[in-house]
Amino acid sequence: MMIRKSALALIGLTVVTTAAGFMLLRNSLIESQMEDLLTEQFKARSDIRDLNLDPFGLEGGLSGLEIADRKQPMQNLIQTGKAEVDVAGWSLLRGSLVFATLNLKDLQLDAPRKTSGALPGRKAPVTPSATKESPPSPTSEPVTTSKQEMDSAPATTPAPSTPVATEPEPSSDQGNATASSDDSSVNWKKLNDNLPRLDLAQASKQLNIPDLTQGLELQSVKQIQQAKQQNRNNIDSLKAELENDDLDKRIADTRAQIIALKARKITDIKSAEKALKDAQAINKNIAAINADYKKIRSESDRLIKNSKLHKNQLGNSIRDDINTMKQLANIRNINTKDIAIILFGQATMQKIQQVMDYANLAMKYMPESDDEEPVSRRSGRDIRFPVTTGYEPYLLVKNLAFNGSKGARQFAGKITNFSSNPIRYRQPVSLSLNSSVNRTDWQLSSVFHAESDARNTVVTLTGDHIKSQQIKLSDKKDPSNPSQAIFKDSNVLAKLDIGKQGLSGTLKLDASKLNLSFAEKARTRFDREIQNALSKPFNNVVLEARLSGSLSNPGLSVKTNIDQQLSRRLKAVVGEKVAQANRQLENHVTRSVAKELNIANNEIENYSKPVKNILTGKGKAKDELAALQKQAENNIKSQLNKYKRAQANKLKKQTQDKLKKSLKGLKF
C-alpha cells in the first residue's frame, strides 16, 4: 500500500502551525479553556480579564478573575485583583486545570456583579433562605437545657434565666449542607443570644435560708397532710358506722320492755313468775348491749388514738427533706454549674461559630465534584479502576495563597491540595486562615482529610490543631467595665460532619489557664473572699461541646470540668457559711414538721369529738337502761313481797279463824 507523501506533509504542516498558533494565541486559548473549566466546575459564569503566561513553563499572572455565585448570580463568589499562577500545561491538554501555585491578592467574597452570572438555560438553585420563613425571635423559641443530659452531676433546677443551649427545631431543610451563610449566621446569633449572660453577683450572694426554702414543699409535711386526711376518712367511716348501728334500737327496745315490766301488776303467783322470767331476759339483753358497747368503745378509742401522728412515724422523710433542702440551697445559691456553663458557653459559641464559618466558607467555595455525566445514547459508562499512580482531578490547586476581605472582615490564608475531587485525590487538605474583625482576632489552622464527597454527601473536617493564643470573653452587661474570662494557650480539637443527614460534631477546648476578672465591686467581706477565690487562675480547663441539628439550625450542648474547680474554690471560702446554713436548714425542717404535726393532731382531735359524743350518748343510754331495770326489778320485788305478805296475813287470819271456831265448842 502506498503512502501519501502529501498527507504526511500536510500533517507536519498542521502540527507546526498548531504549535505556532498556540505560541501566539496561548494566552487567549488557555484563558478560554480555564474559563470553561471554572464555569463547568462552579456551575456559574467565570471570567478572566487578562492572562499572561510564559510560553514554556506556563507561569505568569492573571488579573480580574471573577467566578459568579450560582445561587446568587448577581454577586461573585470570588473576585480577585492580580494573581500569580503556575498552570500545568500537560494537565490542561488532558482537560484538567491544575495550578501548581495560585496566589490570589485582594480577594473579595460576595462582591456584586454588573451582569448576571447565571449560565444560559440554568436556573439558580433555590436557597434555603428563600424557602424558609424568617426565624422566630429568640424569646419565642423553645429552649432546653441540654447541659442536664451531659453533666455527670445529679439533675439540677437551673434558674429560668440560665438556659444553656437550644436544640434545633425540626426543619425541612435539616442538614442542607449548602445552606446560605446569612441564614446560618442568623441561627448562630440566635443560639448565642439564648445563652445566659454572665452574672457574677450571683456567686457572692449571701445564703438566705428563708428565701431559699420559700415555696419549697417538704416531703415530710406532705406525708403528715396525707396521713391526716387518711385519719379523717377513717373517723368519718367510724362515725357513719356508729350512727347506723342497731345498738340504739336495741337500747330503746330494752328500755320499752323495762318500762312495761315496771308497770306490770303482780296479782298472783303466775304473774309474779312471768315478771321474774321477763326481768331475767331483759338482764341478758342489757348484758349483750354492754358487751357490744364495750367492744365499739374500745375499737373507737384505738382508732382515735392511732389518728394522732408522731414524729417517729415519718421515718426517713425528715432526713431526706434536710438533704434535699441542702442540695437545693447549694445549687440555688452557689450555682457553680451555671456559672461554668455561662462562662464557657459564650466562649464555645464564639469558637464554634468561627469553625462553622470556616466550614461554611469551605463548603461554599468548594468546586463541583467530578460527577459522572448522565448516560445517554452512544455515551457509554466510565468504569473506574484503582488508581495506582497520581490521579488528577479536573480542578486542582496545589498551593493556594490568598488575602482579601468579606465585608468588614479581613482575611488571609493558605490552602494546599484544594481540588474538585478530594476523596479520589487523597492528599490531605491543609488550611490556615487569619481573620480579624472589630478587634476580635482569631486564627485557625487545620489539616483535614476529606473522607467523602464534599458537595453531594457528607464532608468530614477533622481539625488536628486549631490553636488560639487567647480567647477573651466579656460580660456584655457593662461594656465599659466588663467582667472577663480569658482562656490562655487554648487548644481546640474539632470534628464536624456536615451533610444531608444533618450536622454533628464535637469541639473540645483545652486551655492551660483560665483567668476570671470581675467588674462588680465587693460589698462585703464575703463577696471579696469569693471574688478572690475565683480570680486565681484555673489550670487545665477542659470544655467539650457537642453540635447537632444543621448548619442553618444548629444545636449545642456543653460539658466541662470548670464546675468542679469552681465548686472546690467556693466550698473552701463558704465552708462555714454552708455549715451554718445546713444547721439552719435542719432546724427549719424539724420545726416545720413539729408545727405541722401539732396542727394535724389538733385537727384530728377536734374532728373525732362527734364520734366521742356519740359513744358517750350510747354509754349514757346503756347506763340508764341498767338503772331502769333495777327500778323495774325492785318494783316487781316489792310487789311480790307485798303479795307474799298479804298471802301470809290471809293465811294467818284463816288459821286464827279456824282455831277460834274449833275452840268455841270447847269449854275449859
Partner 1 sequence: MFGLNPLQFLFRVLAGADRPGEVAGGLALGFFIGLTPGWPLHILLACLLLLVFNVNLSAAFLAAAFAVGLSWLLDPVINALGSLLLEDIAALHGLWTWAYNNPLVAWTRFNNTMVMGALALGGLISLLIAVFGTQILVRYQSVWLEQLKQHRLFRLLMKSRIGQLYYWLSGGIS
Binding-site ranges for partner 1 (CB under 8 A): 1-4, 7-8, 10-11, 94, 377-389
Q: How far is the CB of 24 from partner 1 (least distance, A)?
A: 24
Measured from the CB atom, is 379 or 480 closer to partner 1? 379
**Which residues are registered as beta bridge partners of 327?**
none
Contact 564/191 with Cβ under 8 angstroms?
Answer: no
DSSP code per residue over 419-475: ES-HHHH-PPEEEEEEEEETTEEEEEEEEE---S-TTTSEEEEEEEEEEEEEEEEE-
Measured from the CB atom, is 370 or 497 closer to partner 1? 370
Q: How far is the CB of 1 from partner 1 (least distance, A)?
A: 5
Measured from the CB atom, is 12 or 537 closer to partner 1? 12
Separation of alpha carbons 445 and 212, rounded Å: 48
* Residues 6+ positions from 118 with CB-CB distance below 8 Å: 44, 45, 68, 70, 73, 124
Q: How far is the CB of 11 from partner 1 (least distance, A)?
A: 7
Q: How far is the CB of 379 from partner 1 (least distance, A)?
A: 6
Measured from the CB atom, is 9 or 579 closer to partner 1? 9
Q: How far is the CB of 394 from partner 1 (least distance, A)?
A: 14
Contact 158/546 with Cβ under 8 angstroms?
Answer: no
Measured from the CB atom, is 7 or 263 closer to partner 1? 7
Exposed e or buried b per residue across 298-333, where buried means at least 16 C-beta atoms within 10 angstroms of its C-beta: eebeebbeebebeeeebeebbeebbeebbebbbbbb
Measured from the CB atom, is 12 or 21 closer to partner 1? 12
Closest listed residue to residue 230, CA positions, set 603, 612, 614: 603
Q: How far is the CB of 2 from partner 1 (least distance, A)?
A: 4
Contact 449/428 with Cβ under 8 angstroms?
Answer: yes
Sign of the CA dihedral 386, 388, 394, 397?
positive
Contact 381/375 with Cβ under 8 angstroms?
Answer: yes
Q: How far is the CB of 454 from partner 1 (least distance, A)?
A: 24
Measured from the CB atom, is 57 or 95 closer to partner 1? 95
Separation of alpha carbons 228 and 597, rounded Å: 9
Contact 303/234 with Cβ under 8 angstroms?
Answer: yes
Strands (E), 7-87: 46-53, 59-68, 75-79, 82-87
Q: How far is the CB of 383 from partner 1 (least distance, A)?
A: 5
Measured from the CB atom, is 6 or 137 closer to partner 1? 6
Exposed e or buried b per residue across 403-412, where buried means at least 16 C-beta atoms within 10 angstroms of its C-beta: bbbbeeeebb
- Strands 502-517, 440-448: pairing is unpaired
Separation of alpha carbons 71 and 178, rounded Å: 10
Measured from the CB atom, is 94 or 265 closer to partner 1? 94
Contact 484/534 with Cβ under 8 angstroms?
Answer: no
Output DSSP code: residue 201.
Answer: G
Q: How far is the CB of 427 from partner 1 (least distance, A)?
A: 17
Q: How far is the CB of 377 from partner 1 (least distance, A)?
A: 5
Measured from the CB atom, is 420 or 435 closer to partner 1? 420
Measured from the CB atom, is 1 or 155 closer to partner 1? 1
Amino acid at 526: F
Q: How far is the CB of 375 from partner 1 (least distance, A)?
A: 9
